[in-house]
Amino acid sequence: MGASKTAHFTQKQNEIAALMKALGHPARVAIIDYLLTVDTCICGDIVNELPLAQPTVSQHLKELKNAGLIKGSIEGNAICYCIDEETFSKFQNFLSEVFGKIKVQKNNCC
Amino acid sequence: MGASKTAHFTQKQNEIAALMKALGHPARVAIIDYLLTVDTCICGDIVNELPLAQPTVSQHLKELKNAGLIKGSIEGNAICYCIDEETFSKFQNFLSEVFGKIKVQKNNCC
DNA sequence: TTTTAATATTGCAATATTACGATAAAGATT
DNA sequence: AATCTTTATCGTAATATTGCAATATTAAAA
């Protein structure tokens, strides 16, 4: 098939999977990395930072934007991108839950 | 194309992306969820918990195993699965870094 | 030893993803 | 206005993913 049966899972599971999927490509991890290192918004500089053609980078940026992980605002003929803290916060909350549960697990048999 | 240009990114970026990708499907998130709720290893029970056919579940388990997120040990004619804490720990460390950097970012313009 | 039960593998169809050249769109510059 | 710059979109090829039926594998049970 190739299409995920999203309807059969909880909304939360689908949400988390979507966030994970958005970060499930090294180029998109690299974009986030870069946005973090520059420590501010970036207006038209991302393409030069990545070893990929401009349309490909644009596509990756679109996916990060769709996932809510970054925000973009038009600044003249360039576009400013930055991390969307709110979504990352949501992400972090989920992960805290998961890691919290892992720590409680004591009776491992594997 | 369809193949990621992994060679052009750092090892860390590729590693993180691989972990994220492994969790980038609701079925695999559901499997982790389930392993966490039962609070112990599970021997032969995962297929019944998911709305997917047995070969499909087996495939998802294989991917989680390849990513190092779960461990499986043979227990008679069943197989015990549980969370691999070490990999999750690695995962958590990366995320702490990211979230740490986000908090430092003050001069947001978006 | 035959059967049963649990999991894995194979093969395949449907769909999604990745990447990029060509082109479009839109604001800035001349 | 004509051009340049920056980003987006379209079209398309190559590859990957998802899902399942059929089948294989392996160990327990009868």
- Say which DSSP state B42 is in: E
Contact B108, A72 (CB under 8 A): no
Nearest nucleotide from residue A77 CA, by C1' atom: C27
Q: Is the CB of A36 less than 8 angstroms away from the CB of B4?
A: no
Cβ distance B60 to B31 under 8 Å?
yes
| B40 contacts in chain A (CB < 8 Å) | 105, 107-109
How many CB pairs below 8 A link A and B?
A: 158
| Shortest-distance nucleotide from B63 CA to C1' | D17
Residues of A in contact with B82 (CB under 8 A): 105, 108-110
Question: Which of A14-23, A26-35, B47-56, B94-103 bottoms out in mean pLDDT, i.e. has the lowest?
Answer: B94-103
Main-chain dihedrals φ then ψ at residue A28, nearest 5 degrees: -75, -35
Calculate mean pLDDT across residues A19-36: 96
Contacts of A99 in chain B (CB under 8 A): 88, 92
> Do A110 and B71 lie within an 8 Å CB cutoff?
yes
Q: pLDDT of A86-99, one tens digit each?
A: 999 888 888 888 88
- Mean pLDDT of all residues belonging to chain A: 89
Under an 8 A CB cutoff, do B20 and A33 touch? Answer: no
Q: Which of A46-50, A63-67, B6-10, B101-105 has the lowest mean pLDDT?
A: B101-105
Instruction: Return the H-helix or E-strand segment holding B73.
Output: strand B70-75
What domains, with CATH codes, occur in chain B? 10-104 (1.10.10.10)
DSSP letters for A31-84: HHHHHHHTTS-EES-HHHHSSS-HHHHHHHHHHHHHTTSEEEEEETTEEEEEE-
* Residue B108 confidence (pLDDT) above 60: no
As a rounded value in angstroms, the CA-to-C1' distance for A69 and D8 is 19
- For residue B20 the two structure tokens come to 């994220």
Cβ separation of B29 and A40 shorter than 8 Å?
no
Cα dist from A107 to A31, A110, B42, whole Å: 40, 9, 12
Name the residue with the least CA to C1' distance from nucleotide D29.
B77
Which H/E stretch holds residue B56?
A: helix B54-66
pLDDT band, residue A16 (cuts 50/70/90): very high
> Per-residue confidence at A75, pLDDT binned at 50, 70, 90?
confident
Taking the C-alpha atoms of residue B99 and residue B93, their distance in angstroms, rounded to an integer, is 10
**Torsion over CA: B28, B33, B36, B42 (sign):** negative
Q: Using the C1' atom of nucleotide C4, identify the protein residue whose alpha carbon is closest.
A: B77
